[in-house]
């Protein structure tokens, strides 16, 4: 019955998606505004029912479904029972469909308040995307297949027929060990998926505007908030993925330029560019054609990333096994790219903005420059990610592109991006005089140069860290100085405290100051990345006997004792390590190795501190001896804080003042 319930939910979602696609097509042909309520209810309701059915099967240990039997066990802890719904291939596609249903419902709620053809066609485009995902669930990625031939653990054969006679195994195979080793696995994917799927919305509005030949500011106005929210969730998703890697995998880092990591990062880069250029279009009526290209590219990269993750084309700890889903995603990616770019090329002349960027010495000029840099960065990372795939397809060679390539190419791009960001964030719109630029940039520039000079005097020799520190202060100082000047003037006029005046200014223009908050986050994370990578200290294979104390950096590490523990899903073996610093006891920490039936995963002990993290990864334990990899990562906390501040700024900016009339929006030209 649970298979039938799940399939009925998927069928309802598919019928709803087809209905929305047809109604959107009708709106495109006739210019009418159809009532899309029933079809949206089918899409939204079907997605919820199907996900609930899968969750019920997991929580009740219903091994009659092959998905449950092959990806779950009765001993799986409760939290990971829930997260199993998206921890394997078929369930992850179902989560994507659920997110499409949620975003479609939210789009429809806005549409019903003021129905128009742009909204109807956009919902139809989302319906087209949903047809693909629900269609895959019913065919090549069905989590509701009935187990028809059971092994002692897991399922050997399955059937799409929900009425097939089930052969239920006594026990399931359990969750992939990597996906039940930390609580973040239950949080990281949903955030990532909200970001991924949410970027369908600006794509849908862009396609609707091109199809209707309505390029104007309206599609950009509707897309901007959706893009901000999706980008913010994607930011948190990527950040949590880095934190998960740092806390779980024990290799001593949080970002390895893994192909699947790149797959999530690429749409983040283009969405960053899209957010800024949409703001420019709404403010100045320029960069419209560029925004269409960015909306298409961003959505296309989410599909490409999903293909890389689920096709087996790349080898990664993040990727799923090879399956028929890979070719389906590749075909859909090509359909999206070819179809949308064909429409874009047809409308190219109509979508071009009448206004142009007047001067590079302006805010829009700085944003344009940053957009170009972000595009170069995207192309660089994309080529590094897919080049090994093409080599493997067209030759017998297998190659890999390591992090040295990405670090070497990304560092100069990032530094120039930071410089342009600091220059543009306080520049006026339209054009800046030399006097205006000098007034706004002199103090921030001096603060940045002073910071870099002090870094050298304090003994720093890493050029990347020195430059990043100076540029970060430069970025921080610009909006801080501007807010201080505005607040001082307001406080003197209205007889209020400086803090009250600043709070009122920030509250009145959340769109701008939310963006500045994100820039603060960029500055913080830039310092964190530069310090934690450029100033890190590492020793590999540190051998410590029981009772022995070893000095490393400013720490004293003493191997006190070993320990073992077992629970239904894994065995644990680890070491109690007493950590002292400069003679002061910090505590006893337990790096360990978690052993599952198929894999052993080192789980590090992280001694987090304000100045630096001490990272202990246990590589081997043999009676009275342990082998440790030990790392010191300065200012590691700034990486995590900076990422969350970036996302918080995006969400705060999305709460900005109610959008004004489009014509008025184009007239706003004040600095």
Tell me the backbone φ, ψ of residue 600, rounded to 5 degrees.
-115, 130
Please enumerate in sequence order all residues whose Cβ is within 8 A of that of 181, keeping only pairs 6 or more positions apart, or say none.
248, 594, 601, 603
Return phi, psi of residue 321, to 5°. Answer: -75, 165
Within 495-609, residue ranges assigned H as helices are 498-508, 510-534
> pLDDT at residue 657 above 60?
no
Tokens coding 177? 């060990």
pLDDT digits (tens, 9 = 90+) for 539-573: 998 999 999 999 998 899 999 999 998 887 788 99
Task: Please write the tens of the pLDDT for every residue from 253-297.
Answer: 889 888 888 999 999 999 999 999 999 999 888 888 999 999 999
Number of Cα atoms under 13 Å in the Cβ half of residue 279: 25
Beta strands at 555-567 and 549-552: parallel, antiparallel or unpaired: antiparallel
Q: Which of 91, 167, 97 is nearest to 127 (CA)?
A: 97
Q: What is the pLDDT of residue 195?
A: 95
Cα–chain center distance at 432: 35
Cα dist from 399 to 373, 402, 634, whole Å = 27, 10, 33
Q: What are phi and psi of 50, to 5 degrees?
A: -65, -40
Model confidence at 431, pLDDT cuts 50, 70, 90, reads confident
Is residue 662 scored above 60 in pLDDT?
no
Whether 145 contacts 66, CB under 8 Å = yes
Q: Return the minimum-mean-pLDDT range out of 140-149, 214-223, 232-241, 457-466.
A: 457-466
Cβ atoms of residues 630 and 552 within 8 Å: yes
How many CB atoms neighbour CB 619 within 10 A? Answer: 16
Closest CA relative to residue 172, chosen from 274, 63, 24: 63
pTM: 0.92
> Angle at Cα 456 formed by Cα 453 and Cα 459, nearest 5°?
150
660 band by pLDDT with thresholds 50, 70 and 90: very low
Residue 319: per-residue pLDDT = 47
For residue 122, the surrounding DSSP H or E stretch is helix 117-138
Residue 663 pLDDT grade (very low, low, confident, very high; cuts 50, 70, 90): very low
Give dist(CA 573, CA 557) in Å, integer.
19
pLDDT in tens, 25-44: 999 999 889 999 999 999 99
Please report the sign of the dihedral spanned by the C-alpha atoms of residue 384, residue 386, residue 391, residue 397.
positive
Residue with tokens 């064909």: 342
Write out pLDDT tens, residues 597-607: 778 888 899 99
Please state, as a whole number, how many other Cβ atoms lie within 10 Å of the Cβ of residue 435. Answer: 8
Q: Among candidates 456, 487, 450, which has minimal Cα distance to 472?
A: 450
Asked if 562 contacts 573 with a C-beta cutoff of 8 angstroms, the reply is: yes
State the residue for tokens 């104390």.
549
Beta bridge partners of 558: 549, 578
Q: How far is CA 161 from CA 77, 141, 148, 150, 158, in A?
A: 30, 14, 10, 16, 9
Phi, psi (deg, nearest 5) at residue 628: -120, 145
Distances 166 to 150, 153, 309 between C-alpha atoms, Å: 9, 15, 31
Are 64 and 2 in contact by the 8 Å Cβ rule? The answer is: yes
Say how far apart CA 287 and CA 278 lie, in whole Å: 8
Cβ(147)–Cβ(51) below 8 Å:
no
Percent of the chain with pLDDT over 70: 95
Please check the confidence at residue 665 and state whether its pLDDT lies above 50.
no
CB 559 within 8 A of CB 577: yes
Nearest to 530 by CA among 465, 460, 469, 470: 465
* Model confidence band, residue 669 (pLDDT cutoffs 50, 70, 90): very low
19 SS3 class? helix
Which segments of 199-258 does DSSP mark as H helices, in order?
200-212, 218-248
DSSP E strands: which ranges in 234-365?
none
**How many angstroms separate the CA atoms of 238 and 508, rounded?**
30
Q: What is the Cα–Cα distance from 27 to 1, expressed in whole angstroms?
A: 39
The pLDDT value recorded for residue 666 is 37
- Give the Cα separation of 671 and 58 in Å (integer): 56
For range 506-514, the mean pLDDT = 91
Structure tokens at 418: 């930071």
Query: What's the whole-number average pLDDT of the chain?
Result: 89
Q: What is the SS3 assignment for 419-440?
A: HHHHHHCCCCCCCCCHHHHHHH
d(CA 133, CA 145): 17
**Cα separation, 72 vs 653, whole angstroms:** 41
Q: Which residues pair with 153 in a beta bridge?
A: 171
Closest listed residue to residue 352, CA positions, set 267, 292, 434: 292
Predicted confidence band of residue 313 (pLDDT cuts 50, 70, 90): low
pLDDT at position 133:
96
SS3 state of residue 555: strand
Place 183 in a pLDDT band, splitting at 50, 70 and 90: confident
User: End-to-end alpha-carbon separation of the chain, Å?
Assistant: 63
When computed from its CA atoms, the radius of gyration of the chain, rounded to whole angstroms, is 27
CB atoms within 10 A of CB 16: 27
Q: How far is CA 69 from CA 60, 78, 323, in A?
A: 12, 16, 18
Instruction: Indicate the range of 50-54, 355-359, 661-665 predicted with least confidence.
Output: 661-665
Q: Is 623 exposed, middle or buried (0-12, 13-18, 19+ CB in 10 A)?
A: exposed
């Amino acid at each position: 019955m649970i298979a039938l319930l799940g399939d009925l939910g998927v069928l309802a979602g598919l019928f709803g998606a087809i209905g929305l696609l047809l109604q959107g097509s009708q709106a495109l042909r006739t210019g009418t505004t159809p009532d899309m309520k029933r079809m949206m209810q089918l899409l939204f309701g079907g997605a919820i029912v199907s996900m609930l059915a899968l969750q019920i099967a997991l929580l009740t240990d219903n091994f009659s479904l092959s998905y449950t039997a092959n990806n779950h066990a009765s001993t799986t802890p409760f939290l990971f029972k829930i997260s199993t719904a998206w921890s394997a291939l078929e369930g992850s596609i179902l989560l994507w469909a659920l997110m499409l249903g949620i975003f479609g419902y939210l789009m429809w709620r806005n549409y019903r308040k003021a129905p128009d053809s742009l909204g109807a066609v956009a919902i139809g485009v989302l319906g087209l995307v949903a047809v693909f995902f629900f269609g895959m669930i019913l065919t090549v990625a069905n989590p509701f297949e009935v187990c028809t031939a059971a092994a002692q653990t897991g399922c050997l054969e399955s059937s799409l027929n929900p009425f097939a006679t089930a052969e239920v195994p006594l026990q399931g195979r359990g969750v992939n060990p990597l996906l039940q080793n930390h609580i973040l696995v239950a949080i990281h994917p949903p955030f990532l998926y909200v970001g991924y799927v949410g970027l369908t919305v600006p794509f849908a509005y862009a396609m609707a505007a091109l199809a209707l030949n309505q390029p104007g500011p309206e599609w950009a106005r509707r897309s901007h908030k959706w893009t901000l929210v999706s980008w913010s969730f994607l930011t948190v998703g990527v950040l949590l993925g880095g934190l998960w890697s740092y806390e779980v995998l024990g290799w001593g880092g949080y970002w390895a330029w893994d192909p699947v990591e790149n797959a999530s990062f690429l749409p983040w880069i283009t969405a960053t560019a899209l957010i800024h250029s949409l703001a420019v279009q709404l403010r100045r009526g320029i960069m419209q054609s560029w925004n269409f290209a960015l909306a298409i590219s961003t959505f296309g990269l989410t599909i490409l990333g999903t293909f890389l993750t689920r096709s087996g084309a790349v080898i990664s700890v993040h990727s799923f096994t090879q399956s028929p889903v890979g070719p389906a995603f590749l075909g859909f990616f090509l359909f999206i790219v070819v179809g949308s770019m064909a429409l874009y090329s047809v409308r190219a002349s109509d979508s071009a903005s009448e206004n142009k960027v007047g001067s590079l010495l302006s805010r829009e000029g700085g944003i344009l420059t940053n957009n170009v840099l972000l595009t170069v960065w995207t192309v660089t990372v994309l080529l590094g990610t897919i080049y090994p795939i093409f080599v493997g397809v067209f030759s017998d060679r297998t190659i890999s592109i390591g992090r040295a390539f990405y670090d070497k190419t990304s560092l100069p791009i990032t530094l120039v991006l930071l410089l342009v960001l600091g220059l543009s964030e306080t520049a006026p719109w339209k054009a800046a005089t030399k006097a205006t630029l000098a007034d706004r940039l002199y103090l921030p520039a001096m603060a940045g140069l002073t910071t870099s000079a002090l870094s050298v005097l304090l003994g720093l020799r890493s050029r990347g860290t020195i430059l990043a520190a100076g540029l970060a202060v430069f970025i921080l100082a610009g909006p801080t100085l501007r807010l201080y000047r505005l607040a001082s003037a307001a406080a003197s006029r209205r007889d209020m405290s400086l803090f009250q005046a600043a709070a009122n200014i920030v509250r009145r223009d959340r769109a701008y100051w939310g963006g500045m908050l994100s820039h603060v986050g960029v500055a913080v994370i830039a310092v964190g990345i530069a310090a934690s990578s450029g100033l890190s200290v590492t020793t590999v294979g540190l051998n410590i006997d029981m009772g022995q104390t070893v000095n490393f950096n400013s720490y004293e590490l003493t191997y006190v004792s070993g320990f073992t523990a077992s629970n239904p899903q894994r065995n644990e073996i680890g070491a109690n390590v007493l950590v002292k610093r400069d003679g002061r006891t910090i505590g006893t920490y337990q790096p360990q190795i978690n052993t599952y039936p198929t894999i052993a995963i080192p789980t590090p002990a992280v001694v987090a501190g304000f100045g630096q993290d001490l990272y202990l990864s246990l590589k081997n334990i043999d009676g009275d001896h342990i082998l440790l990899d030990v790392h010191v990562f300065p200012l590691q906390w700034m990486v995590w804080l900076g990422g969350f501040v970036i996302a918080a700024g995006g969400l705060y900016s999305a709460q900005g003042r109610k959008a004004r009339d489009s014509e008025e929006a184009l007239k706003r030209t004040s600095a």
